[in-house]
Amino acid sequence: MIVGVGIDVVDVERFVESMQRTPGLAERVFTETERHVGPASLAARFAAKEAVAKALGAPGGLRWHDCEVLTADSGRPSLVITGTVAARAAMLGIRTWHVSMSHDAGIASAVVIAES
């Protein structure tokens, strides 16, 4: 059963400008593994993290590093959740995550579905 759905859209240029303006933002938001991709892919990962929060009901107190977006060699993205995100997911009975990300024409987007 679907417990939550989240979607987010990010303007890639604006996202890059924010990263340049705010030293340490990349380290605060992304894990070491996530930071090794290009700007558009990084914006898509940010959108995925925002979509996860929305799928969880947008509660306060979620930590950015507690949701990691990984990409398999095949290109398929997946989520690794720990800490605050895992605790909220457990409270809602979420057992399975589905994530889709895209970026084109200066826009990055992500959709997340949380299932029990």
Domains of the chain, start order: 2-115 (3.90.470.20)
Contact between residue 12 and residue 39 where contact means Cβ atoms under 8 Å apart:
yes
Q: Phi/psi at 57 (nearest 5 deg)? A: 90, 10
Q: What is the pLDDT along the chain (116 residues), one digit of tens a residue?
A: 999 999 999 999 999 999 999 989 999 999 999 999 999 999 999 999 999 999 999 888 999 999 999 999 999 999 999 999 999 999 999 999 999 999 999 999 999 999 99
Q: pTM for the full model?
A: 0.95
Dihedral, 86, 91, 92, 96 alpha carbons, nearest 10: 40
- Which pLDDT belongs to residue 50? 97
- Which pLDDT belongs to residue 23? 86
- Which pLDDT belongs to residue 101? 97
